[in-house]
Chain A
């Protein structure tokens, strides 16, 4: 089992690092929460299962000392992007890679079980069994996975120092990645406006999406909150909410590693990743660039070529 192997690796790397960042069981069986391991006794608390949705790589830039982090394939793109942007010192990070066959969206499970309290959760190959006061329900992982898993191109981490299991290859077609964006593009401008207005109207400006975003590097200096300059008002009107989300999306142009954290953490269940994916699709089209796949790449917004490829086709 890769959980056992994960624990072994953590015990092995712990003496060389300050902290190992991994997952442990949360407040109930359906919730997993990060664990910052500093002593071998904590290793037994480590879990690895499809509930380990959080992208732990997001904690890396704030770490001051050498740390180890457990990452899934999708999470590893964050590290690659950090390397491209010089946000971490690779020598100070030990990457424990976990080949992953797909994770679970807690929100989808909760919906499927009618929001009942969860008493127990078990996994069998390809399914999750959830026990609630009114009985047991078995759900197919394919039905309760987040959108990103349905088109996963990187089940095995791109960068790693150790792997917990044999590498897995993606069986999803590359064009499936932007299927949801293509669907949205098929709608009229008015339909799209109405769609985003209805979604962003739910926003409470808690900034969970921003703070969970591993590539949101402004953090405490975000212009959504600064008083000086005073770019955005504190009003909770739709205009101001949309403005904030547009800023978030535009700051991620060619940088979003599509980890889906923004969407996963949204307490109002707004599909906040859609705008970012749309911009990524444009960046792919314009600059043939995919964020977080090659540490040697340079993000297009970090560089300038006089003869940008395809620039004429786009009449720029």
Chain B
């Protein structure tokens, strides 16, 4: 098994179908003008032209997942007693995430720290993750809003991937990153790629140099500015509180659990939640710890750039994929906001001062 392979462009479909022999392949599929990660079937058209609108997160961490199904049953012998029968399924098939970008693959590593590398691992995510091989396409350059380099990644980053593909003349140079990846390289349509290695490296370096880095090197977030309500109110006044940024994020993992029941049967489902929504962490008592829009927004930025790094050795829970910027209805730019927070000259007073009649 070679670590370096080459796949001619015209063999992509054949490659994906071979990957799908014993696994469900999730690939970026073109639907109208939208590119969405879907389970590949031969009627679908794969597009690697640009990063998909959605990240492949849902392949391992579905937007909605049945944790268990339940049924209330009466026992004929003791009719006054109601039994509940529970069924849970964690028997997931093998899967391949094909054609995500390095930022997408890195996104899984962010979720892994919370869902897998812990004493209380999530059995659903963990099983899917173990069963999944990630074949990533490196970017040829940046797209609108991208800033992967600014958060320690890059358009050719290997983190989270089992195989990385770099576009070279006539096809793709493939490199196995893990043992799972080496298994992929043994597929018959993969040719020897050693002669393409230098060209691919060159392309990777060129792409990396073109990505913007919006933050000053090693700058820390100013705690004073982070605690300033004036600052947050100013930067989020245009935010519409929709969930586009969080639902398109490769790292957002907050979820909600609801019981969807009809008479005696139902399902307990886990679905993505969004800290942008007013109902986020709303407590049963009616108390909402984040009643204002700016407090919820601060949670999103804080989670990615402050709380998560504090908990996980400085790792940032943002991969700079740029989707939250690119698809924000009002062009809210998280990199700009973090840039303010990391500005060595950050002064909370500045944000209060130019606010005319701020609080009268």
Q: List residues of chain A with CB under 8 Å of any chain B CB.
A: 18, 26-28, 30-34, 36, 38-39, 41-42, 54, 59, 107, 110-111, 114-115, 117-118, 133, 198-199, 201-202, 204-208, 210-212, 219-220, 225-227, 230, 233-237, 261, 264-265, 267-270
B330 touches A33 (CB 8 A): yes
A32 CA to B332 CA in the complex, in Å? 10
A111 CA to B33 CA in the complex, in Å? 8
Identify the closest chain A residue to B270 (Cβ). A234
A265 CA to B145 CA in the complex, in Å? 16
Nearest-neighbour CB distance to chain A for B335, whole angstroms, equals 8
A240 CA to B248 CA in the complex, in Å? 19
B195 interface residue per 8 A CB criterion: no
B271 touches A117 (CB 8 A): no
Nearest-neighbour CB distance to chain A for B240, whole angstroms, equals 4
A111 CA to B49 CA in the complex, in Å? 11
Additional A-B contact list (7), CB under 8 Å, known A219-B278, A220-B278: A27-B331, A204-B54, A205-B243, A206-B246, A208-B240, A212-B242, A235-B269
A220 touches B332 (CB 8 A): no
Nearest-neighbour CB distance to chain A for B28, whole angstroms, equals 13
A225 touches B242 (CB 8 A): no
B44 interface residue per 8 A CB criterion: no
B354 touches A41 (CB 8 A): yes
Residues in A whose Cβ lies below 8 Å from that of B49:
114-115
Query: Given A225-B277, A234-B258: A36 and B244 within 8 A (CB)?
Result: no
Q: Scoring B residues 249 to 265 as 1 if CB is less than 8 Å from chain A, else 0, what string do you get?
A: 00000001010100000
Number of B interface residues in the complex (CB < 8 A) = 51
Identify the closest chain B residue to A40 (Cβ). B356
Among listed B73-81, B88-96, B136-144, B301-309, interface-contacting one: B136-144
Q: Scoring B residues 21 to 58 as 1 if CB is less than 8 Å from chain A, else 0, what string do you get?
A: 00000000001111010000000000001100110000
Q: Which of B64, B234, B238, B333 contacts A235 (CB 8 A)?
A: B64
A234 touches B271 (CB 8 A): yes
B238 touches A33 (CB 8 A): yes
B331 touches A31 (CB 8 A): yes
A33 touches B143 (CB 8 A): no
A204 touches B63 (CB 8 A): yes
B279 interface residue per 8 A CB criterion: yes
A268 CA to B54 CA in the complex, in Å? 8
A to B CB contacts below 8 Å, 20 in the list? A27-B325, A27-B331, A31-B331, A33-B330, A34-B238, A36-B237, A38-B356, A115-B49, A201-B31, A202-B31, A204-B244, A234-B256, A235-B271, A261-B329, A267-B244, A267-B327, A268-B53, A269-B32, A269-B33, A270-B34
Query: Given A27-B145, A28-B144: A208 and B244 within 8 A (CB)?
Result: yes
A269 CA to B356 CA in the complex, in Å? 39
Residues in B whose Cβ lies below 8 Å from that of A107:
33
Identify the closest chain B residue to A15 (Cβ). B356
B247 interface residue per 8 A CB criterion: yes
B:74-126 near A, CB below 8 Å? none
A137 CA to B172 CA in the complex, in Å? 29
B:341-360 near A, CB below 8 Å? 354-357
A39 CA to B331 CA in the complex, in Å? 22
B132 interface residue per 8 A CB criterion: no
Q: Which of B141, B330, B355 contacts A34 (CB 8 A)?
A: B330
A207 CA to B241 CA in the complex, in Å? 9
Q: Which of A38, A110, A208 contacts B243 (CB 8 A)?
A: A208
B331 touches A207 (CB 8 A): no
B133 interface residue per 8 A CB criterion: no
B331 touches A269 (CB 8 A): no
Q: Would you list the 8 A-B pairs with minimal beta carbon distance, nearest first?
A: A265-B329, A267-B327, A33-B331, A26-B331, A220-B278, A211-B242, A208-B242, A234-B271
B224 interface residue per 8 A CB criterion: no
Query: Given A26-B333, A28-B144: A206 and B355 within 8 A (CB)?
Result: no
Q: Which residue among A30, A39, A114, A208 has the maximum number of chain B CB atoms within 10 Å of its CB?
A: A208
Residues in B whose Cβ lies below 8 Å from that of A34:
237-238, 330
Query: Given A26-B333, A211-B241, A233-B269: A204 and B248 within 8 A (CB)?
Result: yes
Residues in A whose Cβ lies below 8 Å from that of B31:
198, 201-202
A39 CA to B355 CA in the complex, in Å? 7
B330 touches A54 (CB 8 A): yes
B336 interface residue per 8 A CB criterion: yes
A207 touches B243 (CB 8 A): yes
B50 touches A115 (CB 8 A): yes
Residues in B whose Cβ lies below 8 Å from that of A133:
141, 210
Residues in B whose Cβ lies below 8 Å from that of A220:
278-279
Nearest-neighbour CB distance to chain B for A62, whole angstroms, equals 9
A115 CA to B326 CA in the complex, in Å? 11
